[in-house]
A = this chain, B = another copy of it.
Amino acid sequence: VRPLHARTLVGIPEIRPGDDLAAFIDAAAAPGGLMAGDVLAIAHTAVSKSEGALVELGSVHPSARARELAEQQGKDPRLVQVVLDESDEVLRAERGVLISRTRHGLVCANAGVDASNSGGRETVVLLPRDPDASARALRRRLRELAEVHDHQGAPAVVITDTFGRPWRLGQTDVAIGLAGLIPFDDWRGRRDAEGQELRATVLAVADAVAGLVDLAREKDSREPVVLVSGLERFVTEDDGPGARALVRPPDEDLFR
């Protein structure tokens, strides 16, 4: 196994709607450039901003339900309305946090709506409308740029968000969008050197890669992209099933 190496890409500017994020990434990765077996882990806020997935709170008219929840939880009713708009179902409202299942099926706080990192106090950042499609589009564009520059191909793309965990304190980054990286490494049925079946383990490789974003960069550094090498064995030519495959179907949720 090759050693794993991760570094933040320096010099990506604050992203605005319509920006060509892939071109900024391609430029920031020079002169080494991006290799076909590399993996890019990208904080979703950069992707959301480039896609214009932003809401001006001044344009939001909170419903009666949003105003009620906001009062209970001590939140801005306009922000609560945006969270409701992004949610299929609110699972909990407690201690100032709304936990919901988003339109993508993700269970997380505030439906992934981010009131910081937005470049303005009255603007919030949503999750990308379809994060797997965003990852595929970024990979496609990176492949185009690689051909122009005669680089060695397009890396895999992992789009991340920071989620809490029910039984553990603190948050970790997980994969919400994915292209070209296998979501799982399935070890079931493989046998060890003594022929004994290994523990039923399906490693969530894409989430482990997403966790690297926390480690390789400083959170306030405005460096939303981490370049990882040494994971070639998990990278595929096809874009694959995406991060949607990591979402546990509600009927398999052990905790409902």
Contacts and interface: CB of A to CB of B under 8 A. Distances in A.
A255 to B, nearest CB: 4
Interface string A212-256: 101111111110000000110000000000000111100011110
A6 B7 contact: no
A214 B208 contact: yes
B1 A221 contact: yes
A116 B188 CA distance: 12
A116 B202 contact: no
Given A166-B248, A248-B166, A207 B197 contact: no
Interface in A27-54: none
B168 A204 contact: yes
Interface of A: 1, 3-8, 92, 94, 99, 107, 114-117, 119-121, 162, 165-174, 183-185, 187, 190-194, 196-199, 201-205, 207-209, 211-212, 214-222, 230-231, 245-248, 252-255
Copies in the complex: 2
Contact of A170 (B116, B168, B204, B219): B204
A197 B168 CA distance: 24
Given A185-B214, A214-B185, A198 B169 contact: no
Given A165-B165, A185-B219, A114 B5 contact: no
Contacts of A209: 215
A114 to B, nearest CB: 6
Given A4-B5, A7-B3, A169 B219 contact: no
A105 B183 CA distance: 29
B245 A202 contact: no
B253 A169 contact: no
Contacts of A246: 168-170
Contacts of A199: 114-117, 162
B107 A167 contact: yes
A7 B92 CA distance: 41
B116 A197 contact: yes
Nearest to A190: B220
A169 B248 contact: yes
A166 B222 CA distance: 31
A29 to B, nearest CB: 13
Given A116-B192, A166-B255, A253-B167, A217 B248 contact: no
Given A1-B217, A166-B254, A172 B204 contact: yes
